[in-house]
Amino acid sequence: MSKTNFDVFLEEQLRDPDFAERFRRAGEAWDVALQIAALREKAGLSQKDLARKLKTSQQQISRLESPSYEGHSLSMLRRVAKVLSAKVRVIFEPEDEARGSHLAESPVPYRVKRGAAKS
């Protein structure tokens, strides 16, 4: 399949690091918005219904489901997840594997106390 004019345009724009970062961040917000909307719809709720259950406004639910909104709080996401029988997972990933593999100190096995070396 050949590239569309938009594909070519997007490739050119993504060469600009500032544009590429904004594009990446927009994708993250889009993912959150789509997940909330999909879970709400699967539960058979309107935005107004979900707002009522969360004791908030329909406008707040609309904001949460907006791809341009970046003000999601962890506490609100947890409240939404609970009402929609879901759970929230936040994952931090290293930007590149080389940087992610260098730790300030070596990992400590579970339940081992630092400085409590036995002789």
Contact 86, 39 (CB under 8 A): yes
75: left (phi over 0), alpha (psi -120 to 50) or beta: alpha
**Residue 84: burial class (beta carbons within 10 Å; 0-12, 13-18, 19+):** buried
Report helix, strand or coil for 15.
coil
Which tokens is 116 given? 């409590």
**Residue 69: burial class (beta carbons within 10 Å; 0-12, 13-18, 19+):** middle
User: What CATH topology corresponds to 5-90?
Assistant: 434 Repressor (Amino-terminal Domain) (1.10.260)
The confidence score (pLDDT) of residue 26 equals: 67
Structural domain boundaries in the chain: 5-90
The pTM (predicted TM-score) of the whole model is: 0.62
C-alpha 82/C-alpha 74 separation (Å) is 12
Torsion on CA atoms 50, 72, 94, 91, rounded to nearest 10: -30
Which tokens is 78 given? 């947890």
Q: What is the mean pLDDT of each run of 10 residues along the chain (119 residues)?
A: 79 84 73 92 97 97 91 94 95 68 44 47
The confidence score (pLDDT) of residue 101 equals: 45
C-alpha 68/C-alpha 50 separation (Å) is 20
